[in-house]
Structure 1
Amino acid sequence: MSSRNPRNHRHSPDAPIRGRSGVLITLWRWRTEILLCAGAVAAVFTAVGMARDGGWWPFLVLVGVVSVPAATRSGRNRVTAYFWCLFSRHRIQRVCLETSMHTRTGRIPLILWITPTPAGEKALIATRAGVCAEDFAAYAGEIEAACMARRVTVSRHPSRANLVAVEIIRRASTEPAYGIGRLYGTARWIPVPRDGEMPPDTRTTLPLPRAA
């Protein structure tokens, strides 16, 4: 069992990334922002159209939907939590591009889902061929710096090694896990040690010197 050195790139760090992401991949990465913008534009046009016809209820409903979350503490906390989810998703993608966690054609792992947790955020990631959970553990420091987090932990699925859970810890919390933890469970995932914390290889036994 050999530890990974995150500074030894399997791709040349000076070589440009070949190829570009397809349209579907780009839409998938920006799906939340696209849906939010489309929903906001549709709501504004609907409210303006109804207001011109003399109906003010859609406009009042739109104002209430926007103002109620901003006026309550729980609403502000939820909006802030989802903002950090969007922020962390794009920062993890940038770390994958800036490090060796991508294919030779520039394809990076897919972040299938990212959700708030009591301590921060947790992302469910599907790796590409040539990238594994140990790579994410080796680059945990880069992910911490990019996401401005306190600590990052990496776990992999017990039977599907291509599924990796990256937990971004921003604060201490004793609340029960939800989101991905509730859907997939937390006890079954296998923690992946960070680089420099690899356990000793127990598959080999060193011969002991015999006493004279």
Structure 2
Amino acid sequence: MSRNPRNQIYPANEDLPTPGGSGLLVRLWRIRTELLLAAGLGLFTLTLLGATQEGRWLPFVLLTSAISVPAATRTGRNWVVAHFWCVVSRHRLQRVCLETTMHTRAGRIPLVLWITPTATGEKALILSRAGICAEEFEAYSEEIAAACWARSACVYRHRKRAQFLIVEIVRRDETPGATSPGLDRLYGRRAWMSLRPDLEEPPDLRAERVLPRVG
């Protein structure tokens, strides 16, 4: 028996189209990070080949130093690891939508517009499709946490624009470093509401109210 009525929004005897039927631009947007990394690697390779063929090693040394020096520091490594998990979580969120009923009858899944690292994991801004709402993401929160290899997942809905929602993935205790500005700051701290009675507002805002501001 389903844990929540929203977990099964389609009739059991209905044949649905294969999920993932999206346009070319949407598919390219989903792999934008991989495309940028491939472009950067290609540029690095061309620069290396050109420098070695012409006997000019200064551009190669400068380029490798710009890459290796940040990677040798703890802050640089934390930044790389945090954004690696952002890419992983984005793909896992998309996979959850494909494997569950969080897609339209045409097979389209919600768009992960942006995802940033936090002190406890990642936070994703999602644009839902017609027929999908934030409450459905909340119903699948345990599936989302399991798919992202995390502890838990919390869903926050925009107070004025129901098509926007935030999925906060919690995978560890709060640790400083390797974090980006929270999506609640970029789009307004008070613009989001939790779908759980025990979480009336995002944790960042609650902590700000409890701790006095210094300076």
Bigger helix share: 2
Q: Does 1:10 align with 2:10?
A: yes
CA contact (8 A) 1:51 1:58 kept: no
| Rounded Cα–Cα distance in structure 1 between residues aligned with 2:14 and 2:62 | 54
Q: Point out the more displaced range, 14-23 or 91-100.
A: 14-23
Deviations 1:140-195 (A, max 9, x none): 0000000011111100111100000000011222769823122113333110129x
**TM-score under structure 2 normalisation?**
0.82
**TM-score under structure 1 normalisation?**
0.83
The correspondence of residues 24-173 of structure 1 with structure 2, limited to 5 A, is 24-173=25-174
| Rounded Cα–Cα distance in structure 1 between residues aligned with 2:16 and 2:112 | 23
| Rounded Cα–Cα distance in structure 2 between residues aligned with 1:103 and 1:172 | 35
Deviations 1:15-66 (A, max 9, x none): 4534722211110100110011011111220232023212111211222133
The aligned residue for residue 210 of structure 2 is none
Deviation at 1:68, TM superposition (A): 1.7
Give the 3-state SS of the residue equivalent to 1:130 in structure 2. coil
The count of aligned residue pairs is: 193
CA contact (8 A) 1:132 1:161 kept: yes
Which of 187, 191, 194 is the matching residue for 1:188? 191
Give the 3-state SS of the residue equivalent to 1:131 in structure 2. coil
CA contact (8 A) 1:50 1:56 kept: yes
What are structure 2's unaligned runs of at least 5 residues? 199-215
Alpha-carbon spacing, 1:13–1:170, altered in 2? closer, same or farther (3 Å): farther
Give the 3-state SS of the residue equivalent to 1:51 in structure 2. helix
CA contact (8 A) 1:89 1:114 kept: yes
CA contact (8 A) 1:9 1:99 kept: no
Deviation at 1:6, TM superposition (A): 4.6
Report the residue type matching 2:79 in the other structure: R
What is the identity percentage for the equivalent residue pairs of Structure 1 and Structure 2?
52
Q: Point out the more displaced range, 159-168 or 48-57.
A: 48-57
Alpha-carbon spacing, 1:161–1:7, altered in 2? closer, same or farther (3 Å): closer
Deviation at 1:75, TM superposition (A): 0.7
Give the 3-state SS of the residue equivalent to 2:101 in structure 1. coil
| Rounded Cα–Cα distance in structure 2 between residues aligned with 1:79 and 1:165 | 23
Deviation at 1:125, TM superposition (A): 0.2
Alpha-carbon spacing, 1:24–1:144, altered in 2? closer, same or farther (3 Å): same
| Rounded Cα–Cα distance in structure 1 between residues aligned with 2:4 and 2:168 | 20
| Rounded Cα–Cα distance in structure 1 between residues aligned with 2:88 and 2:7 | 25
What are structure 1's unaligned runs of at least 5 residues? 198-212
RMSD of the alignment, in Å?
2.4
